[in-house]
Amino acid sequence: MSDYADRFVAFAVQHEVIRFGAFTTKAGRLSPYFFNAGLFNTGATLQALTEFYADALLAQAPPHDLLFGPAYKGIPLVAGIAMTLAQRGHDLPFAYNRKEAKDHGEGGVLVGAEPRGKRVLIIDDVISAGTSVRESVHLLRQAGARPVGVVIALDRMERGQSDLSATQEVARDWSLPVTAVATLDHLVSYLERSNMSADLLTQVRHYRATYGVLPS
């Protein structure tokens, strides 16, 4: 696992998708780093991102029949990952949702492959409050599908609404295992090996010690 995780962190830092400074999180915490998967915004970087997702999915994800990407960031992710997996010999159907139901044409909220009766992996970038996962689970269950797991790019490994991390809360509340391409621990390891400032490493370690949660 560490090979693709470490390569992903280095790639994200190189393309400034992981940035360092002073950032306020949704929880109101002052973080020394920020991750924004939306900055993988060229064909080449998106292709590379989907390769990392495919590595993690094939190595760790539970058995599944369909990929689902919640609007909006999940849409290019799920399409790109499906194409990358097909190139590796794993041709899977995929679907995504609209933010608003369509009342003409095929109608409805879901677009793409029919999820009914399928075991579904939910594809997202990160889990903060778990809102996207909750909405996805409801949509999929209403459509007759069975969500079986979530795959994200980065697990920040910090407390959510309780003493558990946001990813651990998803596992507890929905019985869904969460697969991450990389974690905050991989970012710390990257900083330890890099030529970046010792002060930055100290800040990230302090943030991890203050808000972090041990892995399950």
199: helix, coil or strand?
A: helix
Q: How far apart are CA 107 and CA 148, in angstroms?
A: 26
Q: Which of 64, 73, 99, 104 is catalytic?
A: 104
Question: Nearest-CA neighbor of 209 among 35, 34, 32?
Answer: 32
Q: Phi and psi dihedrals of 130, rounded to 5?
A: 80, 10
Tokens of 169: 């809360």
Q: Which sign, positive or negative, has the C-alpha torsion 10, 14, 18, 20?
A: positive
Q: How far apart are CA 54 and CA 60, in angstroms?
A: 10
Q: Which of 102, 118, 138, 206 is catalytic?
A: 102
Active site residue 26: no
Q: How far apart are CA 184 and CA 159, in angstroms?
A: 12
Q: How is 51-92 classified by DSSP, letter by letter?
A: HHHHHHHHHHPPP-SEEEE-TTTHHHHHHHHHHHHHHTT---
Active site residue 104: yes
Instruction: Find the helix or strand (DSSP H, E) in which 96 lies.
Output: strand 94-102
Instruction: Find the helix or strand (DSSP H, E) in which 147 lies.
Output: strand 146-155
The residues annotated as belonging to the active site are 102, 104
